[in-house]
Amino acid sequence: MTKNINKKHDRRSFLKITTLAGGGLVLGLNVLTSCKRPGATAEAELEMPEEWYEINAYLKVGDNGVVTIFSPNPEIGQNVKTSMPMIVAEELDVDWKNVVVEQAGLDTDKYTRQVAGGSQSIRLGWNSLRQAGATARRMLLEAAAQEWGVPVSELTTEAGVIKHEKSGQTTGYGAVATAAGQMDVPEEVELKDPKDFTIIGTPTLNVDRKEIVTGKPLFGLDVQREGMLIAMAEHPPAFGMTVKSFDATDALAMPGIKDVFTIDIRPDGAEQQWSDVSAFPELVVVVGESTWQVMKAKKALKVEWEKTGDLESTDTQEAKLAELIKKPADKPARKDGNPEKAFAEAAKVIEREYSAPFLAHNPMEPMNFFADVTDEKAELLGPIQTPEYLQKTVSAVLGMPEEKISIMMTRQGGGFGRRLYGHFGTEAALISQKAKAPVKLVYSREDDMTNGVYRPAYKVKYRAALDENNNLIGFHVRGAGIHGSPVFANRFPAGAVDNYLAENHSLDSNVSTGAWRAPRSNFIAGAEQSFLDEVAEAAGKDPIEMRLELFERAKNNPVGKDNDYDAERYAGVLKMVKEKSGWAQNDGDRARGVSAYYCHNSYVAQVVDIVKENDRPRVDKVWCAVDCGIVVNPVGARNQIEGGLVDGIGHAMYSALTIKDGKPQQKNFDSYRMIRHTEAPRKVETHFVDNGIDPTGLGEPGLPPIMAAVANALYRSTGKRLYQQPFVAEQELLG
């Protein structure tokens, strides 16, 4: 069964590639005759075809029916290299075992939004990926119909085989692929009814799993090329400093060292992109033959730095945020009803402040990039979440047209937002140009952790007004951060309270900040959901029941028009987690906390169980209820939720990046504490709402709510409310 769900598609994604005389869309004759190759989805060896026929930008069909699907978006661990091709394969109606997945390079003509960010790859790719598969299927069908002289409407497909039931004829996709390439690209295609999906919704293993567990070269740092040199860059030791001069005499005398020079990634007149965040545009670069030689030479550099701004410290920044949070904003971000009156008339007012420090992204693979820049062209290869913007910046900085700059993405050893800001790619390009050689730029862990682009430091103040019947009659949130407020004015409980006020402050600083997994939500969810737990307690209500009352209000009689959540779906995940966890606030030795949050278009509710071991609280189990619409790959989806909550627990409990006199105080994992095996939950149980709604992303939504679920459970375990992250700093008991 198929039905027409979407008729329109973006034609530029389906433009045919240059037609070769007589041969359909023949590409790469005898490209690969080897058997098993990276990206092959099957466990067994897959025989590679003699010839490939490119049907559209997303796929090519081999003469033996094997299909290569190109995954357009950067893979940073969110598993899109598996889930995006699954969507194409579903509509193409091919056997997943006969699919090979390849990472596509940056190609702004063929693809739209090749970005890993905002958990949007699946949501925004859903239609175009389905169209890509369905369009190719239709062209294959038309080719078979023409060959057999039958109407295309009489043909069906199943797992890569075309059938004409009336005549009993069948053929594989491979046999008609060359003819299919000559068909017109259809203006309209039919898409499957989701109930007929056979690949989407089926647990599917990571396409790179074999290569990962056998140590094959996959990542940016693994890139090796003939004649390639290694480069490392020294940045100033403090925010507010730049390079004044350097003495490279000792470094240059060391074995393997080729050159030492400075670069500036912001030359006058070069246009900047939003992604060009770096506190240290000028760097001293060491180029040499091997990583260890360059690491040692970098330490032998004598660099004189000069002050260009204030040398800030965490203490003074926190004091400034504390002052800021006392002041009303010039203009409210949102105001409903009369909050002043509601608070004046309240029977009870609860007021609390929450704060969190800067966080480093710390992907396990430090920043790096390969570049080979000549007078004619620039080849860039490496881990980047925003290749399109890197291309624009490299073009501006090198003064080279974009079409001469190719960017290929490797598999990326984590992103978490850090690789949105591709200064390291620009640096690699400039270094290669100056060194006149192919170069791999490598950041040490210390270079990576002290380079900035941190999760902003935040502070937020909440006030709630209860009437004598313990109804929430007023709600006030005021947020501040370096840089930017964490408050989303139109998120819950906006829409559920008659008198509501949201205010934003931003504090400037020369410490660079940027998007960090689930930007703003990664702090505000924890604060908001901890606060609501206290409000429920003050009102004498069960925390889930109180939230459900508010959602009922927001659903039936919402306040305001701009509420950015669906109250029914929000309540749905809470009800589900309540049922699955057998909710009760305390259960014998177990202390429990609940939290729910909506961000990046998905809804997640979590219940945490804490047990005491050797007098220390330990997260034993987490229940998750998730509404992300259709679940494309259940095994990958669960992994994202599990990883997100472990990440959230770790950063709420243990991690902080502090500054003293402009200098980051944590430089490596000996002083920057990351969650480890012994601190992770023992068990995670994840349930998905089955509602058939078009899918939304999961890279981020699992993280934000967990911080409050843990804080609320810890309160019930220890009797102490937690207001400052990391929680270990507040409560030594946590170890």
Partner 1 sequence: MATFDVNINGTNKRVEVEPDTPILWVLRDSLGMVGTKYGCGIGQCGACTIHIDGVAMRSCSLPISQVSGKKITTIEGLSEDGTHPVQEAWVEHDVAQCGYCQAGQIMNAASLLESNKNPSDAEIEAAMAGNICRCGTYVRIKDAVKTASEKMS
Which residues are near partner 1 by CB under 8 A? 76-79, 205-206, 208-210, 212-219, 221-222, 224, 230, 255, 290-293, 295, 362-366, 411-416, 444-445, 635-636, 639-640, 642-647, 650, 668-670, 674-678, 680-684
CB of 48: closest distance to partner 1 in angstroms?
18
Question: Quick one: 348 or 676, whose CB is closer to partner 1?
Answer: 676
Question: Quick one: 123 or 411, whose CB is closer to partner 1?
Answer: 411
CB of 331: closest distance to partner 1 in angstroms?
39
d(CA 137, CA 190): 10
Q: How many helices (H) and strands (E) does the chain have?
A: 17, 31
d(CA 717, CA 615): 11
Task: Compute the CA torsion angle 49, 51, 54, 58 (nearest 10 deg).
Answer: 30
Peptide bond into 383 cis (omega under 30): no
Question: Which SS3 state, helix, strand or coil, does residue 169 take?
Answer: strand
Burial class (CB in 10 A: 0-12, 13-18, 19+), 99: buried
Q: Please, which residues have CB within 8 angstroms of residue 307's CB and are 6 or more apart in sequence?
A: 240, 241
CB of 9: closest distance to partner 1 in angstroms?
31
CB of 650: closest distance to partner 1 in angstroms?
7
Question: Quick one: 215 or 719, whose CB is closer to partner 1?
Answer: 215
Q: Please, which residues have CB within 8 angstroms of residue 728's CB and are 6 or more apart in sequence?
A: 653, 654, 673, 734, 735
Q: Are 481 and 457 in contact (CB under 8 A)?
A: yes
CB of 642: closest distance to partner 1 in angstroms?
5
CB of 709: closest distance to partner 1 in angstroms?
15
Question: Which SS3 state, helix, strand or coil, does residue 333 take?
Answer: coil
Among residues 393, 141, 177, 382, the alpha carbon closest in space to that of 265 is found at 393
Question: Quick one: 11 or 682, whose CB is closer to partner 1?
Answer: 682
b/e sequence 363-393, b meaning 16+ C-beta within 10 Å = bebbbbbbbbbeeeebbbbbbbbbbbbbbbb
CB of 669: closest distance to partner 1 in angstroms?
4
CB of 217: closest distance to partner 1 in angstroms?
5
DSSP string, 391-439: HHHHHHHHT--GGGEEEEEPB-S--TTGGGSTHHHHHHHHHHHHHTS-E
Question: Quick one: 60 or 651, whose CB is closer to partner 1?
Answer: 651
Span between the terminal Cα atoms of the chain, in Å: 58
d(CA 514, CA 420): 9
d(CA 118, CA 121): 8
Question: Quick one: 459 or 638, whose CB is closer to partner 1?
Answer: 638
CB of 298: closest distance to partner 1 in angstroms?
12
Where do the DSSP E strands lie in 418-560? 439-442, 457-466, 472-482, 499-506
d(CA 425, CA 407): 10
Question: Quick one: 350 or 611, whose CB is closer to partner 1?
Answer: 611
Question: Quick one: 212 or 584, whose CB is closer to partner 1?
Answer: 212
Query: How many C-beta neighbours within 10 Å does residue 507 have?
Result: 19
CB of 528: closest distance to partner 1 in angstroms?
22
Look up tokens 């030594």; give the residue: 732
CB of 103: closest distance to partner 1 in angstroms?
13
HSE-up of 214 (CA within 13 Å, CB side)?
Answer: 6
Question: Quick one: 92 or 624, whose CB is closer to partner 1?
Answer: 624
Pairing of strands 457-466, 161-164: unpaired
Look up tokens 């911080």; give the residue: 707
Question: Quick one: 43 or 193, whose CB is closer to partner 1?
Answer: 43
CB of 92: closest distance to partner 1 in angstroms?
23
Q: What is the 3-state secondary structure (H, E, C) of 202-235?
A: CCCCCCCHHHHHHCCCCEHHHCCCCCCEEEEEEC
d(CA 558, CA 174): 55
CB of 666: closest distance to partner 1 in angstroms?
12
Question: Quick one: 618 or 716, whose CB is closer to partner 1?
Answer: 618
DSSP string, 588-619: TTEEEEEEEEEETTEEEEEEEEEEEETTEEEE
- 597 forms bridges with which residues in the sheet? 604
CB of 373: closest distance to partner 1 in angstroms?
22
